[in-house]
Amino acid sequence: MILKNLITVSAFTALLFATSAFIHQNEEQKSIQHSTDENHGFAVLELFTSEGCSSCPPADELMGKIEEEYKDQPVYLLSYHVDYWNRLGWKDRFSSAENSRRQQQYSPILNSQVYTPQLIVNGKKEFVGSDENSIRNAIREALFTDKKTNIELSAVISQKDITVSYKTSATDPKNILLINLVEKHASTQVGKGENEGRHLHHWQIVHQQNSISLNKQQEGTTKFKLPEGFSPERWEVIAFIQHVKTGQISGSAKTSFR
């Protein structure tokens, strides 16, 4: 009888301990989840790249990896193909002078040289675009520390263009809203230049960027010309708020098409 009672007490104690541990674990998980929800951090990654640059394919591939891994988190990726490599034998079909000028604008702000592949996080830190460890650390830090200004965004397709509606709570007159038409993935067989013979893949390619001053209005619409062969599932719109003097990005959002 004594042995039976001891077994019963022992079993009850084990059950009580297990229940207590389960409750504690649930409470800990709720606490972690609550912390994440309250954080509202974000990361905008801007990669400056070129099909004419032999150092760029690893950075482009890294963009694809990050896009897949962070697809359900507030990480926004933008690839700008610059045009200054075009004179060396291969014209990058995604490149533009506007993309090159955007990179040049960062140079005095970040006290950095203009080079490819260069990646900038939230407009305030720059890295070699293939430096995976540093970039991942910067993403984690941004998600934990950078508070996000709200942006409401939607996009509607017509026969000739795309109309994007926006609304934000940003009030600093030195802020601008940059709205980007982005192709999620494309590839090119390179025929000349440093990457001759290579089949290159690109992710989150910026095709058009509209700049809107937030000095007088915090809501409105802007339009993009509908790209040739446009397919809604292959494109998206990404917008972010940036301070014109410091370059710092204070909020971002994206939307698909309807």
CA–CA distance from 241 to each of 99, 120, 146, 210 (Å)?
A: 17, 15, 13, 12
- pLDDT value at position 6? 36
Global pTM reads 0.84
- pLDDT value at position 39? 47
Domains of the chain: residue spans and CATH: 43-255 (2.60.40.10)
Residue partners of 27: CB distance under 8 A and separation at least 6: none
Residue 31 dihedral angles phi and psi, to the nearest 5°: -65, -45
- pLDDT value at position 163? 97
- pLDDT value at position 127? 97
Q: Strands, E, within the chain: which ranges? A: 43-49, 75-81, 118-121, 125-128, 151-157, 161-168, 175-189, 199-213, 219-225, 235-243, 249-255
Residue 254 dihedral angles phi and psi, to the nearest 5°: -140, 160
- pLDDT value at position 68? 96
Contact 241, 168 (CB under 8 A): yes
Taking each helix axis from N to C end, the angle separating 132-145 and 57-69, rounded to the nearest 10 degrees, works out to 40
- pLDDT value at position 148? 87
**In angstroms, how far is CA 255 from the centroid of its own chain?**
13
**How would you write the pLDDT of the chain (258 residues) with one tens digit per residue?**
433 343 343 443 443 344 444 334 443 333 323 333 344 799 999 999 999 999 999 999 999 999 999 999 999 999 999 999 999 999 999 999 999 999 999 999 999 999 999 999 999 999 999 999 999 999 999 999 988 899 999 999 998 999 999 999 887 889 999 999 999 999 999 999 999 999 999 999 999 999 999 887 789 999 999 999 899 999 999 999 999 999 999 999 999 987
- pLDDT value at position 144? 93
- pLDDT value at position 146? 86
User: Of how many residues is the chain composed?
Assistant: 258
